[in-house]
């Protein structure tokens, strides 16, 4: 019976050390820059999202500078000849990028929509989607170089196996002709 208290005393430091080792905290939420040039800003966890917009504190914010496949756009795999929703890849990437929060600088209101440039822990959300090949750079937008990188690297929808909708295929040819 005396061995039990001694055993407990011997295990106490190991138990205390195990309790003090705290798990790694999640990364901090992205915040708006303090020098946001007087524009409105919203930050926090995205409540909902699709391929090219997100909802933040009840505001629906469309990402400025990018174009994403529409809900009815179908892509196909050359290998399997199966069609799939082109926007599916963008939705998955968006989910991955906004999981740790987002900060959106609200830049414009047009056609009943809020347009903004959003940042995540990883960087500019529009640029990250274009670099991943799941969104197109808007004409004369800030992401044309990122789009060319994605096309040349055959990332996302620019992969050689993917048959794109006509307007995406035209964008690929125009980008490669510039290069």
The pTM score is: 0.76
DSSP helix, strand, coil percent of the chain (3-state; round to 5): 35, 25, 40
State the CATH number of the domain containing residue 158. 2.40.50.90
**Which range of residues forms the domain containing residue 121?**
25-178
* Domain-embedded: residue 90: yes
* Domain-embedded: residue 87: yes
> How do the pLDDT tens digits run along the chain, 179 residues long?
454 444 334 444 444 444 555 677 666 767 776 655 667 888 899 988 888 999 998 889 999 999 998 878 888 888 888 888 889 889 999 999 999 999 999 998 888 889 999 999 999 999 999 999 999 999 888 999 999 999 999 999 998 788 877 777 777 777 777 75
* Domain-embedded: residue 15: no
* Domain-embedded: residue 137: yes
Instruction: List beta partners, residue 42.
Output: 104
Check: CB of residue 30 under 8 Å from CB of residue 117.
Answer: no
Number of domains in the chain: 1
Check: CB of residue 115 under 8 Å from CB of residue 126.
Answer: no
């Amino acid at each position: 019976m005396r061995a039990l208290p001694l055993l407990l005393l011997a295990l106490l430091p190991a138990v205390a050390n195990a309790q003090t080792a705290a798990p790694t905290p999640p990364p901090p939420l992205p915040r708006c820059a303090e020098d946001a040039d007087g524009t409105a800003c919203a930050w926090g966890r995205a409540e909902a999202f699709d391929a090219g917009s997100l909802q933040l504190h009840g505001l629906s914010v469309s990402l400025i500078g990018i174009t994403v496949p529409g809900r009815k756009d179908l892509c196909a795999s050359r290998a399997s000849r199966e069609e799939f929703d082109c926007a599916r890849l963008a939705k998955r990437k968006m989910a991955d990028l906004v999981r740790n929060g987002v900060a959106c600088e609200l830049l414009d209101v047009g056609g009943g929509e809020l347009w903004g440039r959003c940042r995540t822990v990883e960087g500019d959300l529009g640029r990250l989607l274009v670099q991943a090949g799941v969104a197109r750079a808007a004409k004369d937008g800030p992401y044309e170089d990122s789009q060319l990188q994605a096309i040349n690297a055959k990332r996302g929808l620019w992969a050689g196996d993917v048959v794109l909708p006509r307007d995406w295929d035209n964008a690929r040819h125009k980008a490669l002709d510039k290069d």
